[in-house]
A and B are shown apart, each in its own frame.
Chain A
Amino acid sequence: DVKVTQSSRYLVKRTGEKVFLECVQDMDHENMFWYRQDPGLGLRLIYFSYDVKMKEKGDIPEGYSVSREKKERFSLILESASTNQTSMYLCASSSPLFGTSGLHSSTDTQYFGPGTRLTVL
């Protein structure tokens, strides 16, 4: 079973604080993702990484940064937390697989962590 863990289930921080959210997966997956989940808005992609030290902006990267120093770990950083960053943060990982024919036959299933509910006061 794929296991994706997040460092905290609940976190309360003050405006202006630097916040680190950590995600670890144990399946040697290449791809890792950070989403935030808000009522009525679904899952919105913040950043993703498809390899160690590689990162790509998602749809809402403003106010966030990420770090991927090791394959199994993907960190989300809020440089200066603001109240509008109060949300549920979900990490996910996936692994692309290619068939011998060269055609894309990826699993692409995203395995999610349990989420971190962050409150910024």
Chain B
Amino acid sequence: GENVEQHPSTLSVQEGDSAVIKCTYSDSASNYFPWYKQELGKRPQLIIDIRSNVGEKKDQRIAVTLNKTAKHFSLHITETQPEDSAVYFCAASRRSGGYQKVTFGTGTKLQVIP
């Protein structure tokens, strides 16, 4: 089955600095890579995603890059703010029959220090 590794497990940055979270996956058939943000005590919510036919996607201060050859993808947050503090999960997903099977990484706890 798919295996998704996520690093680092914790990350502290000063407000205004950039944060990068990296994930690798094992199944070359994976074709969809979402990122979820989970604030303390709340449910995970999708913040950005990328499909395998795209190398990079950007949405304001967040961007995701995908290297299919190396089987890794990364989340980049620029100009970090205290409200970016949360746990971030990457995921790799592939179609299996009539449904999309998703495997999550173990999460990165990001702390933005004011």
Contact = CB atoms under 8 A, between A and B. Distances in A.
B45 A106 contact: no
B43 A90 contact: yes
A11 interface: no
Nearest to B1: A59
B43 A113 contact: yes
Interface of A: 4, 30-31, 33, 35, 40-45, 48, 50-51, 56, 59, 90, 94, 96, 104, 106, 108-110, 112-115
Given A42-B106, A104-B95, A112-B43, 20 more contacts: A40-B106, A40-B107, A41-B106, A42-B104, A42-B105, A43-B44, A43-B89, A44-B104, A45-B102, A48-B99, A51-B98, A59-B103, A96-B99, A106-B32, A108-B32, A108-B93, A108-B102, A110-B44, A110-B46, A112-B44
Given A108-B32, A108-B93, A108-B100, A42 B45 contact: no
A42 B95 contact: no
B100 A31 contact: yes
A112 B97 CA distance: 23
Q: Is the interface of B mostly helix, strand, loop or mixed?
A: strand
A96 B98 contact: yes
Nearest to A44: B104
A48 B96 CA distance: 12
Contact of B49 (A41, A109, A114): A109
A43 B106 CA distance: 7
Contact of B46 (A56, A104, A109, A114): A109
